[in-house]
Structure 1
């Protein structure tokens, strides 16, 4: 099974339609190359902050709250693209409001048959903890793409052996890791974590 992983340049879409057009182009390119599974980056939803006024864009917590208005359209968009392109899509992650000013970093999985599931990030980075509004998830899930059992480990989660081991023991043969890092060192940590998890669970 061919997997496409987006090396993604964050943009500033003027509205959701522009964001949707970009996603269609990125995923269309993956499908044209023969990919059966495409993986978009962690925190992809924060690109949508650009669709709001400057005072919202400049306030991280206000941005978190504002992008919730796009959640329904997000789900419709990626479900439609997965069906239209006949491809499984891991839609990066969406910082989802779960009530009382708390958020979870959720990676949505879309199947070409219309199926939808998600994996929440379990382990928070120091930066995420300092924001004091993001909670780690609780459940581990395994999905299926063309008969290949697949787990999602969002960025920092790939650096922790036991949760990934649990996914593998639940049948996962493939681990996909949507990530967002600010530095080369951060990217290297994710890469090394992925290599270590592959070695441990071969």
Structure 2
């Protein structure tokens, strides 16, 4: 039997000039305690959160930045494992650049109080991530079993691909976590509107986190962020017409906090005015494949 209610705190993480590594980790710890004090069971940080560690370093090339950030991997894991256990909370530790056999990856890690870690490499890399960092793309969607049902992590650009989000839905996912980093309104609204579209199409919850603000000194990797984090639902009963449970104040350093009721999600599947996840016609994919064969 799954638990029905989950209180989520998703971060609009404010970039500021971290004077040292200790300053960065201490600030993260304070934010975690703040969210737990407000009753959060799940805390979500944005994509590239550890890139904030570059703020007090000399300007680096992207390759140098990858090597520098990878050196923090053990500390990153130990930090979030410790806080997850001590505060008895699930934490999505944003994403972190680390090295694997195929190269550097942009990896999201979800930490559970019992010590379990679920990982998801970003599957769709932006042109900048492919060509300038450079990073290697993931090749598998991790379906995560929890007390509240199945979850998945679609990092930033990943949410812009409907077929990936549909795969999550077909795997029984009820909650998608979307850690993001967008440095302009253009990038933000692409991700934001796709989060809402995926929630409508697949009739599940989507939670968006991102960075806001700017660093005093420009860094070529992370120097400014633009975001309004949010918690999204289908635009149908028993939810609100706009499909928004809660959204933050644009570009303010803050947590967006709301409770997810999975009983409402189940009610939407059964009693919604429309059911786009169930009413889709699978014949489309067969016809498209046939057309491609005939074109060849």
**Runs of 4+ with >4 A deviation:** none
Q: Deviations over 1:72-91 (max 9, x none)?
A: 01000000111111111111
Q: Which residue of 1 aligns with 2:271?
A: none
Quick check: 1:30–1:38 contact (8 Å CA) kept in 2? yes
Say whether the 8 Å CA contact 1:42–1:92 is kept in structure 2. yes
Which residue of 13, 16, 25 maps to 1:11? 16
Alignment of structure 1 residues 27-176 onto 2, 5 Å:
27-52=32-57, 54=58, 57-99=59-101, 102-131=103-132, 133-176=134-177
TM-score w.r.t. the length of structure 2 is: 0.64
What CA distance in whole angstroms lies between the structure 2 residues aligned with 1:12 and 1:78? 22
> Larger deviation: 150-159 or 163-172?
163-172
Deviation at 1:173, TM superposition (A): 0.2
- In structure 2, the CA distance between the partners of 1:24 and 1:42, relative to structure 1 (3 Å rule), is same
Q: Gaps (5+ residues) in structure 2?
A: 1-5, 204-296
Residues 186 and 116 from structure 1, CA distance in 2 versus in 1: closer, same or farther, beyond 3 angstroms?
same
Root mean square deviation of aligned Cα? 1.6
- Bigger RCO (CA 8 Å, 6+ sep): 2
Shifted more, 31-40 versus 124-133: the winner is 124-133
| 8 Å Cα contact 1:155/1:178 also seen in 2 | yes
Q: Any conservation in 1 of the 2:70–2:98 contact (CA below 8 Å)? A: yes
Number of residue pairs aligned between Structure 1 and Structure 2: 198
Task: Give the Å deviation of 1:5.
Answer: 0.8
TM-score (norm 1): 0.91
The residue number in structure 1 matching 2:190 is 189
Q: Secondary structure at the match of 1:78?
A: helix
Query: Greater helix percent: which structure?
Result: 1
